[in-house]
Amino acid sequence: MKALDELIGDQPEHWDLDGQIPRHLLSTLGAQGWLCAEVATAHGGRGLSSRANGELTAHVGSRCSSLRSVMTSQGMAAWTIQRLADPDQSAELLPELVSGRLAAVGFSETDAGSDLSTMSTTITLDGDSVVLDGHKVWVTGASYADLLVVFGQCEGGAAAVVVPASAPGVTVERVADPMGCRAAGHANLRFDSVRLPATSVLGSPGAPLPLLVTTALAYGRISVAWGCVGILRACRNTAAKHAATRKQSGRPLSEHQLVGRHLAELFVAEQTASRACEHASECWDAGSPDMVISTVLAKHVSAGHAATGAAAAVQVMASAGARDGHVVARAYRDAKLMEIIEGSNEICQLILAQHAVSTAE
């Protein structure tokens, strides 16, 4: 990770305040295979397992959640291509994603957030072309992206199509002043009669929408979960160092019982989220039938703990951390978004409840 840390340097605070990560740095990270490290070596990637990629994601998440978000976006695009594309498409597209080109994935719409069945974006077959019409909102990484993987209704079912961001009819509008992950390149997308070769559709059109969306969301969820482990590690380390050196009433803050409680709960949160993510990644690497539910569990547990843990870290740091751009201030804002994206806490709870009922003896 040393080479990666050298590229990141001490810039995350500046990126957060500036609202963007240098495009050339993202291209460099992409060309070195860091942004979607699970892509197989046969396609030029690093070929990491889910567990190894998870630890990488947590490390980046501990440094900068905006950069981790771009990693999640790139990884989701690569995973979607791996799962849906035919061999020729994979051979063409996957090497691009580990050579410096950036990608984003568009699901959500203004009226189709958690309920993607109401998606209005359409992909219409027209001879040897397809025509894309519609819009997507809050697409992570889209303002940096060269390629957009867009989901829409198609042939009585659904499809995913790969769209060059520079194609005629594509409009990319950066989301202004996001609360968290400010440098993650969130953007709204509009597609006005965007004509593309029919080969831009990944695999076969008309597949069931839930199958397509679940394929991509599963990767997003486990990536976010590991990113939340990183948030917790950063918060625990920062708060513990501060509490060990800052004195109040003649002794270190860490020796005050109520402050010690915050530190203990941060440690428990980090360890709990880590074990949930490790289990989920082990299920991925083993091809276990528990992969889906373990991923939802990891995302729910990690996001919830990240939000409460970041709040605890701010409380311990007090005015020392109450500065825009500071690591715990960033974590406080970023972690809240983690409870919303890739399936909100409430959606995760519904899925977990359904699983509990279906597996009751």
pLDDT averaged per 10 residues in sequence order, the chain, 361 residues: 90 96 97 96 97 98 98 97 95 97 94 78 95 97 98 92 98 95 98 97 87 84 98 97 86 84 96 98 96 97 98 94 93 97 93 96 87
Q: Which two tokens stand for residue 29?
A: 């990270």
Contacts 24+ apart (CB under 8 A), 320-327: 320/242, 320/246, 321/238, 321/242, 324/16, 324/17, 325/13, 325/14, 325/16, 325/17, 326/13, 327/12, 327/13, 327/234, 327/235, 327/238
CA distance 292 to 298: 10
Q: What is the pTM of this model?
A: 0.95
CA distance 157 to 204: 10
pLDDT at 210: 78
CA distance 234 to 228: 10
In angstroms, what CA-CA distances link 11 with 7, 8, 24, 64, 163?
9, 6, 14, 9, 31
Q: Are 254 and 240 in contact (CB under 8 A)?
A: yes
Q: Are 159 and 206 in contact (CB under 8 A)?
A: yes
pLDDT at 81: 96
pLDDT at 235: 98
DSSP 106: E
Contacts of 287 (CB under 8 A, 6+ apart): none
CA distance 221 to 355: 17
pLDDT at 140: 97
3-class DSSP assignment, residue 126: strand
Query: Beta strand pairing status for 247-248 and 251-252?
Result: antiparallel
